[in-house]
Amino acid sequence: MRQYLDVKARYPDAIVFFRLGDFYEMFYEDATYVAKTLGLTLTTRDKGKEDPVPMCGVPHHAVRTYLVKLTELGHRVALCEQLEDPKVARGIVKRDVIRVVTPGVNLDEESLEPCEPSFVAAVAGDARRGFGLAFLDVTTGAFHATEAPTIDALVDELARAEPRELVLDANPLDDGELGTLLRRAYPRVPQARVPADAPREPDPAAASLRALLRGTFDVALAERAPWAVVAAAQVLAYAGATQPGATLPVSRLDLYHRSDTLVLDEQARAHLELTESLQTRRRAGSLIDVIDETRSAMGGRLLRRWLLFPLVDVPAIRRRHDAVERLVGAHEARDRARKHLGDVADLERLVGRARLGVASPRDLSVLGRSLARLPELVAALDDARAGELLGARDAADDLLRLGGGEDLAGDLAERLTSTLRADAPAVTKEGGYVNAGISDELDELAAIASGGREGLVAIEARERERTGVASLKVKFNNVFGYYIEITRSHLAKVEMPADYTRKQTVANAERFVTPELADFEQKILTADERRCALELEIFLHLRDEIAAAADRLLALAARVATVDALAGLAEVAHRAGYCRPVVDDSGVIDLADSRHPVVERLAAAGAFVPNDVRLDPAQEQVLIVTGPNMAGKSTLIRQVGLTVILAQMGSFVPARAARLGVCDRVFTRVGAGDNLARGESTFLVEMRETAHILRYATPRSLVILDEIGRGTSTYDGVSIAWAVAEHLHDRVGAKTLFATHYHELCALAGTHARVRNVSVAAREWKGEVVFLRKLAAGGASRSFGVEVAKLAGLPPAVVERARAILRTLESDGGARGDAPQPVAPANAEPAPQLGLFDAAGKQSPQQDTAADEVLATLRALDVDDLSPRAALDLLATLTKKLTEPG
């Protein structure tokens, strides 16, 4: 128990899995907690003593599932192994922790998402001196760091790093602003503490990183981002402590500057459904799901990175477009390249496993065969290039360059495939993975083992003759080794030879050994033991060789990933009919026949109606998008955001033609009513996010506002929406798409030079609303609330009555009650800006208030959000209002 307590004292924040024979045991609080949480049987050690120790255990071969469950709950598990063979150890078997499995640091292939990184992130610094953020994927060695001047920027940046675990210094964690904020922003990301010996200040941090990263550490860059370096040193220290005795597979730190990327915060990522759908929180229905046609895990991860970190540098963006364009044009070569890419295993994670000393013979065998496929991939890419017109070729070359003198690690492929069998197992214990012809000694030992089998047959034949028992058998078991078995029925009939020694009596047979058999056994067993040891030696040597070549292999893996991501984008562009956007610094967004990539995919073929959209900071800076419920407003404004992101990540875009001035940031805000799925319907959140946009948007930003102001009363809502639009126009200058059902906002166009009204058209046809999905100039003149209500199944009598009331109200000349009504119909005179509500309110002295209320309710109704049950209830209330006056 002392040994256990020592280990536990060194890993107080972890649940200790203590290996005892075939089990991992837990003790004390660990045991009570885990037994309760995972439903294990709690027992006690030293029963009968005064305070028995609570204990529970899991079989060692089933440990995976328990590790998965515990890390999913946010725990860290320290695996304490036996370091000696208990059979040969004297005294207490030596044990120590060989690995700590945490939510962010997990090497288990099966619990890792192939196409997602597994980042553990650290945050350093403070509000006065700025913040640093670093995130590391231990499985691949991907390692990024950046700085953020404010907490807001830090939280935004952290969002797209998608950490599985967050490492914080103990102090701000306790009650500091940062700790509180991060806990609120990322309640579901488990948090851990920075190890005590990790650097807290820039100087020691830089020194420790430089020592680790040697030649690749950019001192000059690091000096400009001291807090990024501190965070990087901390995350390394944390991850390093989880792998005692191994070196982390990290050789490069990517220090990036936020302004070198299109900044996407948590709202944008969520509202634009970049990586998961808002409703289901699943990948299905997200942008990545539609555009990910990569064939390898590495390519999938890179594409995700491109999506979350789009570029802003025009030449760099064009380089990716060049490469995609080339691959779009070369159908046959692209198909072939993608087929080969599908045969390439996850080089990054395999190399990572080799470096951490956990790669199995199967891993390395797979690695070897993957590398051996690369020349075919290169040939396909060369063909894609050959089809190209002269002159246009160079730009794409550095992205698509796999061959042409580049390192394909052919030597390593050859070493691996010649050494390891293609069917190499995942465990080293029994050998059987090294090819013949690699080592003379190994071949000899193998010959003895197979000769042994012949020898056994010979012995068996001889003994049968000697005893006259035809059913005599030579057998083997783990306890006695080789023995001769004679069934009981024969025993009485024969005389046992003198050199037979009785070993064991079983139900219907006796077992014997002979000196000859014992000799033979000795020879085979030693040969077998020696063979396993020798295979292991060869394998470990090979693994070290691969680990030593990690930088070469990772550089190669990165090139393969790039090709895969580009080929995938080309495939999407081809299949979905995307066009190459013209990207420049103009600030203009001009889309012809633009579509929504995800809605289009889900719609029936050809059913999606494309639209032209133009935004120009000098002219059409703010577009007020009106139209009835369900017209397609949200879809339209989001598709512009998605198009910008796609273009800047290097993809073609869903449009007939597109010109895109590079944006520095895409902001989104979805009104509370549209955002119930996320469970954050409070008006406060809505306003906080809006404030965030107004504060940080620049003239180069794209702002997408969907029904803001909806989370409060109508007048408040209109007023806030109005003021926000005005501010974006007068002060911020950001390109803005503002979808709203407040027709009052259309009046802004009359008084503000760069505000334009557009509406998504709907027509009434024989009393039914028909959604045309077509964008037209001018504000929507009608909201079609009554027609939508009819669509939703309101009884004809109610619909008729509502229509009659609407007619009276409209002929009244804009009379109004509580409900907002169009102030500035299409192309009408701008409404007076002041007295917008007061004047309107005074114009309606007498009204049928009940009908008015019904109408107001119908207008404000979002049919999408209505369950059948709620619709029935609402209907009952409305009918009651109309039939029981007063």
Q: Which residues are near Mg ion by CB under 5 A?
A: 634
For the chain, the C-alpha Rg in angstroms (whole number) is 35
The strand pairing partners of 775, in sequence order, are 760
For residue 598, the minimal CB distance to ligand ADP (Å) is: 10
Is 548 a binding residue for ligand ADP by CB under 6 A? The answer is no
The residue range among 445-453, 564-572, 600-608, 713-721 that interacts with ligand ADP, by the rule CB under 6 A, is 600-608
For residue 633, the minimal CB distance to Mg ion (Å) is: 5
- Count how many residues are written for the chain: 886
For residue 630, the minimal CB distance to ligand ADP (Å) is: 5
Strand (E) or helix (H) holding 622: strand 622-626
Given a contact cutoff of 8 angstroms between Cβ atoms, the answer to whether 127 and 238 are in contact is: no
CB-wise, 161 or 287, nearer to Mg ion?
A: 287
250 in helix, strand or coil? coil
Q: 627 is in the binding site of which of Mg ion, ligand ADP, none (Cβ under 5 to 8 A by kind)?
A: ligand ADP
Q: 58 is in the binding site of which of Mg ion, ligand ADP, none (Cβ under 5 to 8 A by kind)?
A: none
Q: How far apart are the C-alpha atoms of 500 and 479, rounded to whole Å?
A: 18
Is 603 a binding residue for ligand ADP by CB under 6 A? The answer is yes
CB-wise, 191 or 634, nearer to Mg ion?
A: 634
CA separation, residue 451 to residues 138, 435, 443 (Å): 46, 18, 12
The residue range among 138-146, 337-345, 419-427, 626-634 that interacts with ligand ADP, by the rule CB under 6 A, is 626-634
CB-wise, 633 or 859, nearer to ligand ADP?
A: 633
Given a contact cutoff of 8 angstroms between Cβ atoms, the answer to whether 237 and 195 are in contact is: yes
Residue ranges in 409-438 that form contacts with ligand ADP under rule CB under 6 A: none
For residue 160, the minimal CB distance to Mg ion (Å) is: 25
Given a contact cutoff of 8 angstroms between Cβ atoms, the answer to whether 38 and 46 are in contact is: no
For residue 774, the minimal CB distance to ligand ADP (Å) is: 8
Is 632 a binding residue for ligand ADP by CB under 6 A? The answer is yes
For residue 678, the minimal CB distance to ligand ADP (Å) is: 16
List for the chain the helix, strand, coil content (%; round to 5): 50, 20, 35
For residue 308, the minimal CB distance to ligand ADP (Å) is: 24
Residue ranges in 770-799 that form contacts with ligand ADP under rule CB under 6 A: 773
Q: 599 is in the binding site of which of Mg ion, ligand ADP, none (Cβ under 5 to 8 A by kind)?
A: ligand ADP
Helix boundaries (H) for 507-594: 515-548, 550-576
CB-wise, 352 or 628, nearer to ligand ADP?
A: 628
Is 633 a binding residue for ligand ADP by CB under 6 A? The answer is yes
Q: How far apart are the C-alpha atoms of 510 and 486, rounded to whole Å?
A: 6
By CB under 6 A, name the one of 630, 697, 746, 836 that touches ligand ADP: 630
Q: How far apart are the C-alpha atoms of 354 and 250, rounded to whole Å?
A: 12
Given a contact cutoff of 8 angstroms between Cβ atoms, the answer to whether 5 and 45 are in contact is: no
CB-wise, 146 or 629, nearer to ligand ADP?
A: 629
Is 467 a binding residue for ligand ADP by CB under 6 A? The answer is no
The residue range among 31-39, 502-510, 557-565, 631-639 that interacts with ligand ADP, by the rule CB under 6 A, is 631-639
Q: How far apart are the C-alpha atoms of 698 and 312, rounded to whole Å?
A: 14
For residue 863, the minimal CB distance to ligand ADP (Å) is: 9
The residue range among 47-55, 173-181, 357-365, 623-631 that interacts with ligand ADP, by the rule CB under 6 A, is 623-631
Is 627 a binding residue for ligand ADP by CB under 6 A? The answer is yes
- Residue with the CB atom nearest Mg ion in the bound state: 634
Given a contact cutoff of 8 angstroms between Cβ atoms, the answer to whether 375 and 413 are in contact is: no
Is 285 a binding residue for ligand ADP by CB under 6 A? The answer is no
Q: Specify the residue for token string 């660990």.
A: 30
Q: 261 is in the binding site of which of ligand ADP, Mg ion, none (Cβ under 5 to 8 A by kind)?
A: none
Please count the residues of this chain forming the interface with ligand ADP, following the rule CB under 6 A.
Answer: 14
Strand (E) or helix (H) holding 594: strand 589-594
Q: How far apart are the C-alpha atoms of 851 and 807, rounded to whole Å?
A: 12
- DSSP at 356: T
For residue 565, the minimal CB distance to Mg ion (Å) is: 32
Q: 603 is in the binding site of which of ligand ADP, Mg ion, none (Cβ under 5 to 8 A by kind)?
A: ligand ADP
CB-wise, 121 or 745, nearer to Mg ion?
A: 745
Given a contact cutoff of 8 angstroms between Cβ atoms, the answer to whether 126 and 179 are in contact is: no
Q: How far apart are the C-alpha atoms of 852 and 861, rounded to whole Å?
A: 14
Q: Which residues contact 780 (CB under 8 A, 6 or more apart)?
A: 626, 627, 628, 631, 743, 759, 760, 761, 762, 822, 826
Q: 141 is in the binding site of which of ligand ADP, Mg ion, none (Cβ under 5 to 8 A by kind)?
A: none
Residue ranges in 738-777 that form contacts with ligand ADP under rule CB under 6 A: 773
CB-wise, 71 or 634, nearer to Mg ion?
A: 634
Strand (E) or helix (H) holding 148: strand 142-148
The tokens for 208 are 């420790």
Task: Note the residues at the interface with ligand ADP (CB under 6 A).
Answer: 599, 603, 607-609, 627, 629-635, 773
